[in-house]
Amino acid sequence: MLMMTRTLFPILTVIAAIMLIWYAASVGMNKKWTYDQAGRAGVEVSFTEMVADTWAQERPVLPAPHQVVAELYRSTVQKNITSKRSLVFHGWITLSATLLGFVFGTGMGILLAVGIVHNRAMDMGVMPWAIASQTIPILAIAPMIVVVMSTVGATDLLGKETATALFGYQPAFMKGILPKAVIAAYLSFFPVVVGMVKGLRSPDHMQLDLLKTYNASKSRTFWSLRMPSSTPYLFTSLKIGMAAALVGAIVSELSAVPLRGLGARMLTGSYYGQTIQIWAALFAAATMAATLVAGIGWIERRSLAKMGMTK
Amino acid sequence: MMWIIGVFIFWLLAYFLNVWLANSAWHKTRIVKLAVPAIFGITILVVWEGLVRGLAVPAVILPPPSMIGARIMQSLPILWGDLVQTFVKGALSGYIIGCGAAVLTAILIDRSPFLQRGLLPVGNFIAALPIIGTAPILVMWFGFDWHSKAAVVVVMVFFPMLVNTVQGLAATDSMQRDLMRTYAGGYWNTLFKLRLPAAMPAIFNGLKIATTLALIGAIVAEFFGSPTRGMGFRISVEVGRLGLDMVWAEITVAALAGSLFYGAIAMIEKGVTFWHPSQRG
């Protein structure tokens, strides 16, 4: 109960304030259109009519929250999930690319971190570049990767023939997934390298010396000491990597062919002035990011508790 | 074939040179610490050049570094114009507005524990979201020119900066604050003489994170519409024309700008937080 009043109430207040500001802003930003329409039709609108209209326009400058929620409901629950108008369909396209890239990026990142910790030449040669790469807007290469991989023809997870032979059809998410996954992997790679190197180095001299007195081999030290003590760092970097992978997948969808996924929904929305569609895609992406990060956080709490490492 | 064999030999030599340097007695000297990553970087460039030539990879797939270098030299005015449009006008102005607003907001909400408990979780939550998705909306609101890019940057840097500053303002302990009180230092004196200086390491941490976010925001926002200049604009146009050497040239410039921006903030940090253990080496 104390917890509730201490944190939940303030959070709800802040959210309520945001909602209020949002509704007020959508009146302010949309009223020009309402007055223009009324002026053209030659009718007077009262204040209440004006407010009601600003919250119900088809292409508002700023859609009201309930319009976004209604659009989310329309495009998830009321649409068949295989339909091209379903946000579930587009969300799954983005999610699959994100997850594929995330698994590869973090896997490679952990492997490189293990190499860096055990090989001084790699440490001195690669580590400065891994750190410097975090100051670089890597995302800028996304359009190029997409185009180059389409030129080479490496866009689908399994070729159309292989997929058909295996499943009887080519699952929709496999089409055009590879460039997006490569960018997602690339973005999640470097944070994981940097975080894991820190984690694998976190055992102090006392602990390392203890294992030396046990005559533990290098691999034994790794599995029994370095790996367990790097777990908190692993989860922190996994969270960063997951968020980065999702951003990578979304941005690469801006230039990917076929135009599908949450990023593509935002792009087509901005072409056709479908603001409500952009906001719905944005909220879907935000929900996805929050769920993925919270999922990792849940696994983190469970495993750290099991390992006796809770803070 | 000659290229591939040559590249392989070069790679072997560089590899053994690096292993030898890293395990030699001088591996703690400054020169070796700079030389090893430099050799690694040069090796990658040489291997890239050699493989592209040896395997005759078409330039529309991967141009060799020499071609990219030549393109940079030829297109300096264009690259400079794009840099000014995207970095100076878009990223830098958004960075200053966003970080400034975040620090001021942090100081304001710092007076109210209620707002802190409410805004911090919300801010943390928003900082983890793909905020870059607001780019199409902001481009619609503020037009194609740099104002919309600056707006995207403001939104992107605001929340990480806010969270870091609030954490920094909480960095003083009660002993230090009590000391200020015994000096009869009021709120403002305590803020400027104790709490803001003590918050600087956290603030600079946020400022450094924000440098990368600012460049990413400004470049990606241009994918949603821009005037006929800017790094993001050039990248998407040249990708469409398969002018990959120009794309790589823009990426090189972006990487340099990003590193220099980060480096500049890190230099300022060194001067401001000279007292912090992490800076005393």
| Local confidence band at A245 (pLDDT 50, 70, 90 cut-offs) | very high
Range B195-200 average pLDDT: 90
| Local confidence band at A311 (pLDDT 50, 70, 90 cut-offs) | low
CA of B135: which chain A residue's CA is closest? Answer: A266
| Local confidence band at B281 (pLDDT 50, 70, 90 cut-offs) | low
Instruction: Give residue A18's pLDDT.
Output: 87
Q: What is the mean pLDDT of chain A?
A: 85
Q: What's the pLDDT tens digit per position in B239-275?
A: 888 888 899 999 999 999 999 999 999 999 988 888 8
Q: Flag whether pLDDT at A310 surpasses 70.
A: no
Range A126-133 average pLDDT: 83
Of B137, B223, B239, the CB nearest to A144: B239
Whether B22 and A11 lie within 8 Å, measured CB to CB: no
DSSP run (H or E) holding B99: helix B93-110
Q: What's the pLDDT tens digit per position in A24-48?
A: 888 888 888 888 888 888 887 888 8
Instruction: Give residue A4's pLDDT.
Output: 60
Q: Flag whether pLDDT at B154 surpasses 90.
A: yes
Instruction: Give residue B103's pLDDT.
Output: 93
Q: What is the mean pLDDT of chain B?
A: 87
Distance from C-alpha of B213 to C-alpha of B46, rounded to nearest angstrom: 31
Range B100-118 average pLDDT: 87
Q: What's the pLDDT tens digit per position in A270-283?
A: 888 888 888 888 88
Most A-contacting residue of B12, B36, B213 (CB-CB within 10 A), to test interface: B36
Q: Are B213 and B141 in contact (CB under 8 A)?
A: no
Q: Flag whether pLDDT at B160 surpasses 80.
A: yes
Instruction: Give residue B60's pLDDT.
Output: 82
Report the complex ipTM.
0.82
DSSP run (H or E) holding B182: helix B174-182
- The residue that leads in pLDDT, A134 or B106, is B106
A180 touches chain B (CB under 8 A): no
| Local confidence band at B12 (pLDDT 50, 70, 90 cut-offs) | confident
Range A277-306 average pLDDT: 90
Q: What's the pLDDT tens digit per position in A226-241?
A: 888 888 889 989 998 9
Q: What is the largest CA-CA distance in chain A?
A: 92
Of A11, A128, A246, the CB nearest to B130: A246
Range A83-94 average pLDDT: 84
**Which of chain A's residues have a Cβ under 8 Å away from the Cβ of B248?**
144
Instruction: Give residue A204's pLDDT.
Output: 86
Q: What's the pLDDT tens digit per position in B216-232?
A: 889 988 888 888 888 98
Minimum distance, in Å, between the CA of residue B64 and any CA atom of chain A: 15
A123 touches chain B (CB under 8 A): yes
| Local confidence band at A259 (pLDDT 50, 70, 90 cut-offs) | confident
Range B83-105 average pLDDT: 92
